[in-house]
Structure 1
């Protein structure tokens, strides 16, 4: 049977579950306490038709190092192999554009991102793509905001989005 490796790392926004295949990082899951972790691993096993194995061969060493550097304010761009097998079609196209076209410290509107992939009327579909992002933080869906400047939704919660944007200097750091 195929296998994928996983690990949980502590961050300033809570524990993150990371999963990788031989092709690259395949999943990042927010708020990975034991219940969330167990459910995420069960779902990943089904979607990947693979058995989860604790980080046995070190596939996650580089992603963990890079995420640590990101949260320490030392890394602005992830240079990691990504396994896009959990995303397809329009969603994958939008996520790839986001990963390569919206740098650290910048934001983009849903409509603008839709226009960048040749679908100027598909702002709502971009929102769906953001909600389906299997690689948040690394593929920075937190950088997508509403056209009126509001933060918009976020799979990890609006407070997590606010903290990530503050880390990147887009928003002021919280007072408390």
Structure 2
């Protein structure tokens, strides 16, 4: 099994049913983790797309000096007015904000969407490979279980 972790191939038919079950459980866990990661990346990508839409529509020149609600927390908003429609504060991660022009903010968010898109594609390929490996392990395990049942049935029939 240590060889499998280093990327070496293992002849699945040489493993016992118990070892195959362990490999199957490990692959199940990996596929589940990759699926959760995939969903997280898709949510992050959707949030960045929402940011792009907000920069395009929410900071339009027509919004200047009109009353708006400014979020202080996820459930607390205070009234305010948009003073500058050319500059925005961009959350660049871990609580750091940078002032950017709306065009630069849009470029920043588009870059994030593209970066996440390539990460999502990589993750899809990895997840598909793991899922294929899982199907192969399940098939070999199923064959071993069927062969074991047939041998068990023949052994008890010849004993009578």
More helix by proportion, 1 or 2?
2
Q: Highest relative contact order (Cα 8 Å, sep 6+), 1 or 2?
A: 2
TM-score, structure 1 as length reference: 0.21
Q: Which structure's CA Rg is the greater one? A: 2
TM-score, structure 2 as length reference: 0.23
